[in-house]
Structure formats: structure tokens, C-alpha cells
Amino acid sequence: MKQTSNNSLANGPYFPNVRLRRLRKSKALRDLLQETRISSDDLIFPLFVEEGLKNPKNVASMPDIQRIPPSKIVDVVSEILDLGIKGVIVFGIPSKKDNTAHAAYNEKGVVQKAIKTIKKNFGDRIVVISDVCMCQYTNSGHCGIIRENVVDNDSTIEILSKIAESHAKCGADIVAPSAMMDGQVFAIRKQLNDAGLADTSIMAYSAKMASPLYSPFRDLADSTPKFGDRKTYQMPGTNSFESLREIELDIKEGADMIMIKPALPYLDLIYKTRELFNLPLCAYSVSGEYALIKAASEKGWINETDVMIEFLSSIKRAGSDLIITYFAKKMAKVLLEK
């Protein structure tokens, strides 16, 4: 009897008949078969507006990102729109702080004025998202009302609701509560509905981790806590199941979109969230992610543009619909050059 070959690969759909390198032999072919694509429509650029500022201010830990004066808002947003970016998230740095973050919900506050300016000049050409938090506005640098050296959850969500309403009245398309207080989405949704602002969307910072990657942001926003840390209200990065519970609760409370922050260390969570929930999903590629790339690039250790594209592509590939990134303008320029 003729002995058959034990090599099952000989006649199977394998090498040398299958050569995946055939699909990569030219740039045009690679472009044609590209699975994950980033568009300028996916990108949201953070704006930091400082009350009383006369000229843009640089911050050492965030190269190329500036605090901007109110007088420069129109110029900055015009540039963003020219690049094809259709979304900004606005942060404010007030001239005065106090224990109750009064400036955060003042109708003449820095964010409120910024939103009005953007909407007056650009209308629906751009989506304005407002960060709803208190850390830039409190003397403590914490995200809420302090009672006996602890952030008090329930009194804080009352203030957050006022902040969100004030932003929505000025024209914000989306309010984004980032304080990680229990019940904040429910309280804000009720406040908006009661104020006749039911069409304002909520983007919930549903899984915001207590990450060391926020340090450059705190330099930029002047929001470093004066004591302790934020681990009692922000998420432990080790707990993906708890993160999913936070996301589910925010959805039940009325969130229209959900966010995961930071992005790169939590690609697994972005993937899980995309698999489990069908709401629009945003990832915030935070200041530390940006600063790491910029610092390594300045040392000549990496190619900044190539690493930027790879990192942003990984966030998109994991399942994020939208990406808040300090690289938004640079990435949009790369896309325009293609």
C-alpha cells in the first residue's frame, strides 16, 4: 500500500500558495486594503481659555499647546475648521477661585463667554463640547465641594448641574461631566430637562481613571489638587469590571455618549465597551500621552508623526468613534497632505 504523506500542509491553503506579503507590495495596495482609517471628522481638539489673558501662554510640559485669551478664540477655531476638524472641547481657567466654584457657573464666566463667541461666529459649523467640572475653579484643586477634607458627592452634583445648565444656555451642543461623582449624569439630565434644554447632549466621562498621565493637563489648566489625590472618586485603572459598571450606570442615568480616559493604557477597556454598548464612544488621549511622544521626539528617539499616527490608529482600531487629542490639528494636517 502506498504510504500517504503526514504533511497536511502540503495541499492546504498555506505557504507557498498563500503569501500575505502580496497584499503589501505597494503603497497604493496597502492604502486600498487599509482596515482602520482616521478621519478629521473623528477628532476633537481641546481648547484652554484663560480669563484676563492678553496673549497666548505656553506651558513647558505641553509643547505647541497654549492657553488662549478670549480675544483669540475666533482665530483658533477658524484654523481648526479649516483643517476639517468639527469638534472642540472647552476648558476654562478663571481669574478667581473659591471654595464653591462660583465662577464655573457664572453666566459671565470664561467658558460661558467662550461658548457664546464660538456659536455667534460659527454656529452649527462646529460642535462645542464643554467640560463640566470644578477643579479649575476651586481653591482646593479638587473636582467638588470639600467637607472635612473629603469631596462631598451630593453637594457637588448640585453644582455640576448648575454648571451644565449655564453652558447649555450659552449654546454648548454637548456637556461633558468629568468629576466622576455618583449620580452626576442623572442630576445633570434632570436639570437640563427642567430648564427646557432637553436637546443638549451629555458625553459622560464614564470611565475616568486616577492616572498619573494627567500631570501636564494640570499644568495647563491650573488644576493640581492642593492636598491628597483624586483616587476616592476617579477609577482605579486595575478594575475593568468596575469601569463597565460605571459605564452602564451612566447610560441608565441618561448619557448620550460615553468616554474612556486615558486612551492608550486602556485599549482593552475601549474594546470591551465597544462590544457591550452601542452608544457613541469617545476616547480621550490625554496630556501625558501627548507629552511622552513630544519629549521622545525632541530627544530624537522617535519620529513624532509616525508614532502619532500609530497611537491614534490603535485607539480607533480598538473601537473608539471619536478621539479627543492634543494632536488633532497635526493629524488633520497629515490627512490633508495625503
What residues act catalytically?
208, 261
Q: What is the CA radius of gyration of the chain?
A: 23
C-alpha cell at 296: 521622545
Answer yes or no: are the C-beta atoms of 55 and 45 closer than 8 Å.
no
C-alpha cell at 189: 439630565
Sequence-separated contacts (24+) of 237-243 with Cβ below 8 Å = 237/209, 237/210, 237/211, 237/265, 237/266, 240/268, 240/269, 240/272, 243/206, 243/207, 243/209, 243/269
Answer yes or no: are the C-beta atoms of 287 and 217 closer than 8 Å.
yes
**Burial of 287 by CB count in 10 Å (0-12 exposed, 13-18 middle, 19+ buried)?**
buried
